[in-house]
Structure 1
Amino acid sequence: MSSQTTTRRKLRNRSKVRVAAAGRLRLSIYRSSKYIYAQIIDDAAGRTVAQIGSKAVKTGTKTESAAAVGKAVAEAALAAGVKQVVFDRGQYRYHGRVKALADAAREAGLDF
């Protein structure tokens, strides 16, 4: 995939997230070839409420690690009093590890 396509998708998704946010915090993810990271960001205050990476919760396959990250970040967010977020998948398609993380976060109690 060309970098132009990736950049366009990233900007398109980010603009949709800004519109949908409306006072909500943002669940942002980053996916590398080996690991996946998630963080809850308060854009208004400019601070990170919770963050976790798959290095900290290493389990079985990469998809299982992504699900563990989703569950862990949801638990950390709920402990900080955050119930509703907007999901920012960035340039990544909603498939595989990204979907596993989102589904686990929903099951753990986050609403998006």
Structure 2
Amino acid sequence: MKTCQVSGDEKPNEDQIKRMKEIINSLPHDEEFEECSSKLKALSDATRIKILYLLSNGELCVCEIICALNKPQSSISHHLNILKNLGFIKGRKEGVWIHYRLTDPKITDLVKELIGII
């Protein structure tokens, strides 16, 4: 553990040092924080949140999402790819179209709750 640089009488006592070591040791690994950060970044885009809300009503074809959001296919595909790669949604191919659904139906409820809290 790195030593803290503090001045004067502000040095932590032994109990504080022990408590901080316990807290630091209980933290998830940096990789977990990076994954969490990536997922939260994905939720920082209005189009992606709209897609999640649309999919909370059930599986939709890409063509339905394009129509609902009135955006170009390339833009929707980009957003769907981000959501899929981060585990928010799954796709299944049917003919020339891909149908998407939430990996967990609670996702939009959790997003609403998170937004409500912050």
Q: Same fold (TM over 0.5)?
A: no
TM-score of the aligned structures, taking structure 1 as reference length: 0.31
TM-score of the aligned structures, taking structure 2 as reference length: 0.30
Larger Rg: 2
Which of the two has greater strand per residue? Answer: 1
